[in-house]
Structure 1
């Protein structure tokens, strides 16, 4: 039953069954621990994850099951806790390729690309199989998040072309695009598509990064290429439409952005709304932009107003160019109220009023954190002397003392 819940993306149900088994003193074997660790990784339940690991240690002292250790590395990596992930890795008497892949992935997600590369070298020295596309994917992703372009090129072009699958190639495209090597990234996609199907994910990667750097002409060029792909569905086109509309909005081209949004509405293209979660006392609290549905909404917005003034006092320059729609001044909106209403800031405000002054905050966002929230939360970590970890759709951002 736990396995089925995990397969159907219902990890909270798995943790409920685990707690029920514990309450009724039902035997908990390695398979149960493996399933519940994976569930904690999926639903980002840090407190439960730490407690379960402590229980396994208390019961077994020395964890020898390689599958459980690999799952623990993955779990801590998804919690943004590199120290505990590495501690599990170092404690293992037996490792396999999955072990190294998961530890390298942890480093990559947390922006420690050089540590991932060092681990890859050790992996090769110890003659582990590196003929694994997953190894190259996590390694290139680590290079991407740390802007290690030259090393990524060496790795990519040294790989046997049999392993240049869509994941490995997309990771290389991402690495190049993030460092604004647009033509080289585009060339790799076009070479890939000579012998494979057109890949909308790779083109969308280029489109997303062109939006980050506010390259509206480049974004339109890439968008046109995406539209040329045969048999593309509206749902597949949705991210590209939204990215281009947001790129135009950031560049002040509101009419063009509105035209694309109208197309999205007319064709019933589904847009995934941005949502941020924060776990307080083992309970997940979710927020959407400008959300007022929480039972403590009044206190959250009071804290948000305090944060706004603190940020201004500390010299934060709000980037209102990130607003992706017209400000509804007739409804009392201002550019500042729109940018302060992002779900990440709401979750941060709730975390500050719900925890002790020295407690760390762990926030998870289903999309990519915007640059204003990134800079604001970085400054909040200094003002309130808190460690704040934000996990977004692509990586972790760890803020401490304004850095």
Structure 2
């Protein structure tokens, strides 16, 4: 920068361009990522080294126990001779863990119901666009009752299988699916009732929602299995699984009603006004305009509620329903397997539940991306 005299007699500043600087070094590749994310400072370096040391201490013994030193072949406890996991225990008890005490020759009925569930859930991906809503919703609502008819067998002329023999992970899956399928529309009706201008309908819906949301699910199970039969006439019996299904459905409906209510509050008032301006009725506005937006906004909470209910099915063991966790505990007390295989049993149950919950999360994330209209790249 130099000074010269301007025409007003004051010094004028002339700025000279700075010297050219070298181009910045652009770091790419794995080395650059590691340096920026794991070794960017002294603290991050120390934490990274500590975590790596911890994993190096834990993972090799765990890998050896799970795979290298494990026992995979055999059919009795005597075949578990290594120092690793005894997967023979899981192999022997795999059928009861998955299907309970259902007769061997009739397990195809459970597999058929599982196939129907998978086809119904995958229907939106293969049905034509015009048929998705009507056909898929109808399939979902009918599926629980079709599964009951198939598993029971009497209406189809098949061998009758009492619900006392239903169990295992298939029972967890069926109860959770049936409760979610029926609990979602029921929760939507409760949410509408809570927003209603009719005092009686609003009061009833508020009481139902707050009762089933505020009562622990274990207490609801005990009420459904122990206290509810006391209110029936003498000699009247209601199947235990039916009572449990009703409790789970109402429990799901209570939580879903609050999820929907949050979605309703996120919808701008202009959407209602726009629907009214083109002459849509209340139910046309609710089902065709508001409900799709509510589901889109509430999708993360809907998933969280569904996963919560699915995991809560393990509490059925408290009231004597032989779901997968109860079956695993029963297997551990078997006189032929008293060698302490609780780690293998609970690890197997945990992995199965993690696979299902992770799959549900992945599907929900895919649906969120499909419904995203923000046009972000």
| TM-score (ref. length: structure 1) | 0.25
Q: Which has the higher contact order (CA 8 A, sep 6+)?
A: 2
Q: Which one has a larger percent helix, Structure 1 or Structure 2?
A: 2
Structure with bigger gyration radius: 2
| TM-score (ref. length: structure 2) | 0.26
